[in-house]
Chain A
Amino acid sequence: MITPSGIRDWPPENAWRKRYIENILVKLFQSWGYEEVITGTLEFDNVISKGLSENEKSQLYRFFGREGEILTLRPDMTTPIARFTATHLKNKTFPLRFFYTGNVFRYEKIQAGRYREFFQAGVELIGAESSLADAEIIILASRALEKVGVKDFRIGIGDIQLLNLVLELCELEYYGKEQLRKAIAEKDYVSVKALINKLKNESQSSYIQLLEKLSNIYGPDDFIKEFSRFETCLVIKNRLTVLKNIITLLETADLKDRIIIDLGITRDFQYYTGIVFEIYSPYIGFPICGGGRYDNLLNNFGFKCPATGFAMGIERVLLVLEKSGKLPKLEYKKCLVVGGDFKKIFQRAEELRSRGFFVEVELEEKDEKELKEYAKSKGINYIEVVN
């Protein structure tokens, strides 16, 4: 039987690599004080659809439940965890630090390392408003990539609040603002440039200059230099302070060289409200990790609470590791215990297992030659005969 389009099977060597990476991530997340949460694969459509754009909704797998309700397969883990927190965990002590690993579903064009069912590992930091929280998330994502063996990555940071502020300050009429926002989100810099040129003729606002800067990208120092000229405006100054704090904290974490500031980063999900980021590797043409602040999402479920988080694409991480020659190698010792007496075989196998070996016992009566061939094809390093 074949599988539905975009759904794949994981043979043992790939499944082993996936679990190996997830184990490293889980250990790391726990060591930062994050606790695992698990939510169901199926959600009500009206839960998931909150905070999604029309285009994002069109990528949902939807179907009717037995009672006519519309169900959807989760397209990410952030909304389910926000729902869970807002409806069941309100009385906990905040901030909450949650992590997860799991499969998500998006009915989208099949891209590099992204199937229609794919796996994510990530964290949510709920109930913390400060720029320290934004920095913690970015640093943790970076540490996670370092731990699993991804080198040479860069962190692109954007700020949806600053973007919105600039659009507000330019006093564009509604239509122009939405056109511009759309062009920035779609990375259509041809339209962005054309729209800005048009606005220059129409608007007297001195912030049009600032708009032009939005479609550029900067190293952290250049960014601060370029934008500090606009600090006379208090609201801009406040946002810049947030970005500066984050840059300082990332510098402390030895990540400053990896930062790119790009206010054109708006992420795919519409629920983001503040600092957003994506992590890039030169080995693939898609971000391997992304996240940011979503301060309004929990309010959709009746609980006003700031939050931030990230998700990492497990398949994409594996692709980067493969292309950079850093795929984890199976390093455990395998043995096969054979002999005439089953009781002794099982006893010896248990002993070896308790010493950390991966032990199979012989179940059929193979001759010596067959045993050797079997061991070779299974990567078994060592055959022990007990009599």
Chain B
Amino acid sequence: MNNNLLTVAVPKGKLLEDVVDLFEKIGFPTEDLKQSTRKLLLEYPEDSLRYIICRPTDIPTYVEYGASDIGIVGKDTIEEARKNIFELADLGFGKCKFVLALPEKIIKSSEYEKDFQKIFAGSTHLRVATKFPNVAREYFDRIGFQAEIIHLHGNIELAPQVGLAEAIIDIVSTGRTLKENNLVAVDDIFEATTRLVANRVSYRLKHKRIQNLLENIYKHYLEVKND
């Protein structure tokens, strides 16, 4: 076993561009990430480095099991996954927020505007469609409102239009999708940015290397960006 090898879980999809930018600034190889190859495993033996390219929602799992020493993943995904992983740094990008959204017409036809608790106070049932059932459950527990949570895997916006749910909980970054589907955000749940996460054993056994990486990220990326 190579104790120096550092395995990094890299999210494919919309975060990738920011990850490439981050890697460039801290001197990590990025050529292969920029090409749209289908490779899932990229190895750089000369740097004792390895990337695994995976779906963002799987990254907490890879890191929790130690299949990956560290990973880059949104706080939204971390909150939902509830894995035992260490959050080392807030990388700042991929900003989005969790919102509760209702169809525009419900709001318009109600006298309570955006106060959904009042809107639904008289109804027997609030059904909420979401990709994030854990986040949703925690939110409703916190505000003390009862709702039925319907777990979907995508295109949450569809649910209110076809009567599957009265409301949705989803992450928004620009708000365009909500608008296009005539949905209006009525409550912000929390904001999320991308995090550097680590496996609890790797963090201790490869501490020097991870600590150096962290310092590099602060010096060449986060502090530069904040100036």
Q: Do A and B come from one complex?
A: yes
Q: Which residues of A277-314 are within 8 A (CB) of B? A: 280-287
User: In the complex, what's the smallest C-beta–C-beta distance from A282 to chain B, in angstroms?
Assistant: 6
Complex CA–CA separation, A284 to B204 (angstroms): 12
Nearest-CB residue, chain A, relative to B195? A190
* Bound Cα distance A287, B200 (Å): 8
Which residues of the other chain, A, contact B203 by a CB distance below 8 angstroms?
A: 217
A154 within 8 A of B: yes
Q: Is the CB of A156 within 8 A of B86?
A: no
**Interface residues contributed by chain A, number (CB under 8 Å):** 24
CA distance A58 to B87 in the complex (A): 24
A182 interface hit (Cβ, 8 Å): no
For the complex formed, measure the closest distance between the CB of B74 and the CB atoms of chain A, giving whole angstroms: 13
**CB within 8 A of A285: which of B90, B195, B201?**
B201
| In-complex Cβ contact of A282 among B88, B89, B195, B205 (8 A) | B205
Q: Is B36 an interface residue when CB atoms closer than 8 A count as contact? A: no
A165 within 8 A of B: no
**Total interface residues on B, using CB and 8 Å?**
24
Complex formed: what's the CA distance from A260 to B204 in Å?
Answer: 8
Q: A220: shortest Cβ distance to chain B, in Å?
A: 14
Q: Once the chains are docked, how many angstroms separate the CA of A190 from the CA of B88?
A: 6
CA distance A282 to B89 in the complex (A): 23
Docked Cα-Cα span, A154 to B206, in Å, equals 11
Known contacts A187-B87, A189-B86, A280-B204: A324-B64 contact under CB 8 Å = no
Residue B85 at the chain A interface, CB threshold 8 Å: yes
**What A residues does B143 contact at CB under 8 A?**
none
| Distance from B200 Cβ to chain A, minimum over Cβ atoms (Å) | 7
Residues of B within 8 A of A154 (CB): 204-205
**Which chain A residues lie closer than 8 Å to B90 at the CB level?**
190
Chain A residues lying within 8 Å of B174, measured Cβ to Cβ, are none
Chain B residue at minimal CB-CB distance from A262: B204
Asked whether any CB of chain B lies closer than 8 Å to the CB of A52, the reply is no
Q: Which of B66, B87, B199, B204 contacts A188 (CB 8 A)?
A: B87
Chain B: minimal CB distance from A198 (Å): 14
Which residues of chain B are near A387, meaning CB under 8 Å?
none
- A286 pairs with B195, CB closer than 8 A: no
Q: Of B1, B200, B205, B207, which one neighbours A187 at CB under 8 angstroms?
A: B200
From A111, A154, A280, A285, name the one whose CB has the most chain B CB atoms within 10 angstroms: A285
Q: Do residues B205 and A285 form an inter-chain contact, with CB atoms below 8 A?
A: no
- Contact partners of A282 in chain B: CB under 8 A: 1, 3, 201, 205
- Interface: B190 (CB within 8 A): no
Give the contacts of A221-237 with B (CB-CB under 8 A).
Answer: none
Which residues 83-119 of A sit at the B interface, judged by CB distance below 8 A? Answer: 109, 111-112
* B213-226 Cβ-contact flags toward A at 8 Å (1 or 0): 00000000000000
Q: Is residue B93 within 8 Å, beta carbon to beta carbon, of the partner chain?
A: no
Complexed CA–CA distance, A282 and B203 (Å): 11
Check if B204 sits within 8 Å of A324, measured CB to CB: no
B85, A260: Cβ atoms closer than 8 Å = no
Q: Which residue of A lies closest to B202 (CB)?
A: A285
Give the residue name and chain of the B residue nearest to A323 (CB): B1
Q: How far is the CA of A285 from the CA of B3 in the complex (A)?
A: 13
CA distance A109 to B65 in the complex (A): 12
- Does B67 reach chain A (CB closer than 8 Å)? yes
On whether the beta carbons of A285 and B199 are closer than 8 Å, the reply is yes
Cβ distance A108 to chain B, nearest Cβ, rounded Å: 10
Task: Establish whether residues A187 and B65, one from each chain, have CB atoms under 8 Å apart when the complex forms.
Answer: no
- Interface residues as binary, A263-287 with B (CB distance below 8 Å gives 1, 0 otherwise): 0000000000000000011111111
Query: Taking CB as reference atom, which chain B residue is nearest A154?
Result: B205
**Can you name the residue of chain A whose Cβ is closest to the Cβ of B3?**
A282
Considering the complex, which residues of chain B in the window 58-107 have a beta carbon less than 8 Å from any beta carbon of chain A? Answer: 63-67, 82, 84-90
Bound CA–CA A260/B206 (angstroms): 11
State in angstroms the CA–CA spacing of A286 and B200 once bound together.
7
Tell me if A285 and B66 are in contact (CB < 8 A).
yes
Task: Please report which residues of chain A, range 316-363, place their CB below 8 angstroms from some CB of chain B when the two chains form the complex.
Answer: 323-324
Q: Is the CB of B87 within 8 A of A189?
A: yes
Chain A residues near B82 (CB-CB < 8 A): 109
- The answer to whether A285 and B207 have CB atoms under 8 Å apart is no
- Are A112 and B66 touching (Cβ within 8 A)? yes
Q: With the chains together, A109 CA to B67 CA distance in Å?
A: 17
Report the bound CA distance from A187 to B198 in whole Å.
10
Shortest distance from the beta carbon of A67 to any chain B beta carbon, whole Å: 33
With A111-B64, A111-B65, A260-B207 in contact, is A284–B201 under 8 Å at CB? yes
Closest residue to B199 on the A side, CB-wise?
A: A285
B85 neighbours in A (Cβ, 8 Å) = 187
Chain B contacts to A: CB under 8 angstroms? 1, 3, 63-67, 82, 84-90, 195, 199-205, 207
Instruction: Pick 16 A–B contacts, CB within 8 A, sort by A.
Output: A111-B65, A152-B1, A152-B3, A187-B200, A189-B89, A190-B87, A190-B88, A191-B87, A262-B204, A280-B201, A285-B64, A285-B65, A285-B67, A285-B199, A286-B65, A287-B200
Known: A284-B201, A287-B200. 12 other contacts (CB 8 A): A109-B82, A154-B204, A156-B204, A187-B200, A190-B90, A190-B195, A260-B207, A282-B205, A285-B64, A285-B66, A285-B67, A285-B199
